[in-house]
Amino acid sequence: MSRQMIAGNWKMNGLTAEADALAAALLRGVGERAGAPGAELLVCPPFTQIAAVSRLLAGSDIRVGGQDCSMHEKGAHTGDVSPSMLRDLGATHVILGHSERRQNHNELDETVREKCVAARRAGLVPIVCVGETAEQRSADGHEETVGWQLKGSLPDGFADEEAIVAYEPVWAIGTGRTATAEDVAAMHGFIRAELKRQFSESGEKVRILYGGSVNAGNAATLLAIPEVGGALVGGASLKPDDFLQILSAAQGG
């Protein structure tokens, strides 16, 4: 397995002073460690803070990403942000298909796929999110749900270059609930099998992150599970000490 990635999704949090302070604290915390981080570290601020955070973190081992992008490159798309605009601000990655986008903005698998194509064309690494609701899991439809999301959201050639899938059980996001180690192992194993089925040998190279109320207390257990290639962290990524502890868990302490 390649190095694990710890990705922080700041969501709609961070005015300028707050974002600057958070980025500075992470930069200071990583700098105090001996040598380069054993895991890759990524932060995804709101659109409004990407440029400033990118400048603050320039030259460090911390990468910056966006939380979403348009499928369009330019034109009459009021309020949208294109992948090339993210690149221009210093982003290297972009989160796509997060459950909050799928639920709150009615994004379909087809929409996520088109955004993924556009992101790759602009040179961004896509992080495509998949996951089931509590109702789908209780009805024993979690594998079917995730399987269809993978089939519909990932374009042809997705695994030919660096690409990431994030499994986020919707029922565990922002609820304080966390899937059991057995649940995570089973779903990540299923996702790996689906990636290999969809992309043959190239599917083995896709990193699979776990995202669902990851925190400093459970990170070591979750990151030790087979096929877990890192974590997509929400609330804990806004707390520098907690986020750095999660990073330490990925490095093995």
Task: Report pLDDT digits (tens) over 227-239.
Answer: 999 999 999 999 9
**Which of 9-13, 99-103, 171-175 is predicted least confidently?**
171-175
Report the alpha-carbon distance of residue 155 to residue 160 in Å, rounded: 11
Report the alpha-carbon distance of residue 213 to residue 204 in Å, rounded: 26
In sequence order, the β-bridge partners of residue 164 are: 127, 207
Find the mean pLDDT for residues 169-197: 90
Find the mean pLDDT for residues 47-55: 98
- Confidence at residue 186, expressed as pLDDT on a 0 to 100 scale: 96
Question: pLDDT band at 32, cuts 50/70/90?
Answer: confident
Question: pLDDT band at 179, cuts 50/70/90?
Answer: confident
DSSP type of residue 32? T
| pLDDT, tens digit, 9 for 90 and up, residues 13-24 | 999 999 999 999
**9 appears as a binding residue in the annotation:** yes
Measured in degrees and rounded to the nearest 5, phi and psi for residue 105 equal: -120, 10
Find the mean pLDDT for residues 68-80: 97
* In the predicted structure, residue 34 carries a pLDDT above the cut 60: no
- Confidence at residue 12, expressed as pLDDT on a 0 to 100 scale: 98
What whole-number percentage of the chain has pLDDT above 90?
Answer: 87
**211 appears as a binding residue in the annotation:** no
Residue identified by tokens 């600057």 is 20
User: Where do the domains of the chain lie, and which CATH numbers do they carry?
Assistant: 5-250 (3.20.20.70)
* In the predicted structure, residue 35 carries a pLDDT above the cut 70: no
**234 appears as a binding residue in the annotation:** yes
- Confidence at residue 252, expressed as pLDDT on a 0 to 100 scale: 55
* In the predicted structure, residue 251 carries a pLDDT above the cut 70: no
- Confidence at residue 3, expressed as pLDDT on a 0 to 100 scale: 87
| pLDDT, tens digit, 9 for 90 and up, residues 79-137 | 999 999 999 999 999 999 999 999 999 999 999 999 999 999 999 999 999 999 989 98
Q: Chain-wide mean pLDDT for the chain?
A: 94
Q: With contact defined as beta carbons under 8 Å apart, do 164 and 127 qualify?
A: yes
The total of other beta-carbon atoms located within 10 Å of residue 158's CB is 23
Show contacts of 100-107: CB within 8 Å, 24+ apart. 100/11, 100/173, 101/68, 102/129, 103/170
**106 appears as a binding residue in the annotation:** no
Return the active site residues: 98, 168
**138 appears as a binding residue in the annotation:** no
